Each structure stands twice: as structure tokens, then as C-alpha cells.
Amino acid sequence: MNTKGMKIGILTSGGDCPGLNAAIRSVGKTAILKYGMRVYGISSGFQGLINKDVVELDDKKLSGILTLGGTILGTSREKPFKNKGVLKEELSKPEIIKKNYELLNLDCIVCIGGNGTQKTAYKLSQIGLNVIGIPKTIDNDVWGTDLSFGFDSAVSIATEALDRLHTTANSHRRIMVMEVMGHHAGWLALYAGIAGGGDVILIPEIEYREENIIKYLEKRASSGKPYSIVVVAEGIQIKEKLRGESEEGRVKTSACSTIAQMIEKQTGLETRETILGYVQRGGTPSATDRILATRFGAFAAELIAKKKFGRLAALKGTDVIAIDLKETAGRIKTVPPNDPMIKEAKLIDTCFGDET
């Protein structure tokens, strides 16, 4: 296998998450040390490919970043196929990317990102670029992999936040509503909700009825439970009339506020809101995420060495395997409403708002 002198680019795209640097380090170290390739860091996701903003990474630059949160390369939500926009020399963004890929003499680009990134990676492969995808996201919703890195760290952060809410909820005898990220998929709310002892867990995949939540919370209160914890995914389906509007009448209020206000109004129980926000995406990766990112990175570099392009590194059980980008592009892994975790959580009386 003649890999010496091959040139590869690495980019991170979409929302950041813990473990990105661990993945960059692993791709880079494997490519450089094992296969003698040259590695280039592409700045700010696909934007860096449009602007030809790259820097060569050597072994030294890749040292000491395993535990670092964020991404040393920077990231953006640039979607070159969405806003194709004719830029320089009347070329569209995908055409500029292709031209720059050729000018830089790249043999492959490793695209580390979530669903949107993998869709773009697939489209780039369709116009003739060699690409490999690595799945990352705190939402854990990349289709085709059991786990994406970033998720485990976010679950730990959200769980710790819930642990802390328990004590203050108990002191004040309040209902605490906490919102975690997850527009389409409720994995983070489900895992953190179970780990953090959430009494009510609301996720986008399960339609709730207000009366079920109210009945459940009132029953807890009347049976002597001094407080309750409600975990809400940001993307839960809320009937439009319920979502309040800001003074300007444009910006909708959060899922957290909507649910908290509804609970306080209907139960009369004092209720407080916490939106965890970007805290859940920041900071050092958990051990599980470091390991997963390292495994994906090394595997991705091996795929390049074997010239098996157009694939996504994915976890199946305990194995890292390659799946075609075509399979994952445009698909989202949501929580099946009959997921065993939901069934088990219901056995311990967790309320998902769909039943009484």
C-alpha cells in the first residue's frame, strides 16, 4: 500500500462538541506516523474549503489536544450546497470547493460532523471528491452509528445539572423544568433524564398531553413528594397556541418556558426554569468520548490508506465499521417510541406525557 506523500485534509463542521480534538489528533497521528501522509487542517468547516484556508498539521501540533474541548480548527454551519451562491469567477460554492481541493492536491477530506455535515460530505463525493465521514454530535442522531462522540460528555454534564437541581428543588419544594438540546431527537433528554432521576421526560418523538403531565405531578405532590423534576428536549412538539410570543411578537418562547408556565398555571405549584444551553457542548470530553473519537479517527485514516472513500466510520455494538455515506445522508436517528429504555423508565413510573 503506497500511502507515503498522500495529502489529506481534516475539517470540523456544525455545532462543536467535546471530542473533536481527540478525533483530529487520531486521524492526524495515524495518517502521519503510520502511513507517512501529509495532513492539512481546514479552518471553520466547509468555509475553509471555499476560502482555501488551510494549515499543515504535524505531530507536534497534534500533541496535547486530546483532552481539549472545542475544535482547534474552528467550525461553522456553512452548507455549500444549500446556498450555492455564485462567488468568485462565477463559480458556485461546490465548484469552488472542488477547484480548491484540486489546487491543494488533496487525496481525501475527513469531514467530522453531524447529519448536515455528512450530507454535504456525500454530495461532495458525488461531484468527485474523496471524502470520509466521522460522526460527532451531542444529539446522538447521526443515522447508521450506535453512538456519536460528544453525546456521552453532554449526558454527563446534563446529569450533573439535574443532580444539582434536585437539592434546590427539594429545599424550596418546587417543580424544576430543565431544557436540554435536541431539535429532532430526544436521546440527550432521555439519557440525562433517566440518569438524573427526571420524573417527567418530554422528547420530540413522543406526543404529550398536558393533562397527563398535570395529573402525574399533582399525584406526586399529594402523595407527599416535595418536588418534581421535568426534563424537556428543546424540540418537543408544542401546539402553536401554547408557545408564548415575545414583545416583538416574533420570537417564540422556549419549550422550557412554555412547559413551566403551563405547569405552574394548572397545578398552582411553584415552578422554575433552567435552560442548560451551550454549557452542555463545552469543555473536556469524557473518557468514553475520547476513546470513541480516537477509534473513529484511526479507522478513518485506515480507510483512506485502503482508498475506501465515500464512507462513514460508525460504531456497531463494540466494533467500528464503515458504512456508505449514501446510507446516512439525509437521515436522522430518532428515538423509537417503543425503545426499551422508554419501556423500562415507565416501569419505574417516569412520565413521558403520553399516558397517565
Which element (helix H / strand E) includes 57?
strand 54-57
75 is a contact residue toward ligand F6P (CB under 6 A): no
Among 15, 41, 198, 353, binds ligand F6P (CB under 6 A): 15
- Helix ranges (DSSP H) in 174-277: 187-195, 210-222, 255-267
Q: 104 Cβ partners below 8 Å, 6+ apart?
A: 7, 9, 40, 52, 54
Q: Which is nearer to ligand F6P, 26 or 148 (CB)?
A: 148
Min separation Cβ 217 and ligand F6P, Å: 26
Q: Is 319 a catalytic residue?
A: no
- Whether residue 202 contacts residue 233, with contact meaning beta carbons closer than 8 Å, is answered with yes
- Kindly write down the DSSP assignment for every residue of 299-311, as one continuous string: HHHHHHHTT--SE
Q: Which is nearer to ligand F6P, 140 or 228 (CB)?
A: 140
Among 183, 209, 252, 326, binds ligand F6P (CB under 6 A): 183
Q: Is 98 exposed, middle or buried (0-12, 13-18, 19+ CB in 10 A)?
A: middle
The 10 Å CB-count burial string (b at 16+, else e) for 237-261 is ebeeeeeeeeeeeeeebbbbbbbbb
Q: Which is nearer to ligand F6P, 9 or 150 (CB)?
A: 150
181 is a contact residue toward ligand F6P (CB under 6 A): yes
Listed residue (165, 150, 142, 175) closest to 269, CA to CA: 175
Interface pattern 253-292 for ligand F6P (x via CB under 6 A)? ----------------------------x-----------
Of 120-179, binders to ligand F6P (CB under 6 A) are 137-139
Interface pattern 216-245 for ligand F6P (x via CB under 6 A)? ------------------x-----------
199 is a contact residue toward ligand F6P (CB under 6 A): no
Min separation Cβ 299 and ligand F6P, Å: 22
Q: Which is nearer to ligand F6P, 15 or 133 (CB)?
A: 15
Query: Annotated catalytic residue: which of 16, 107, 139, 152?
Result: 139
182 is a contact residue toward ligand F6P (CB under 6 A): yes
Read off φ and ψ for residue 92, nearest 5 degrees.
Answer: -80, 165
204 is a contact residue toward ligand F6P (CB under 6 A): no
Which element (helix H / strand E) includes 111?
strand 108-113
Active-site amino acid positions: 139
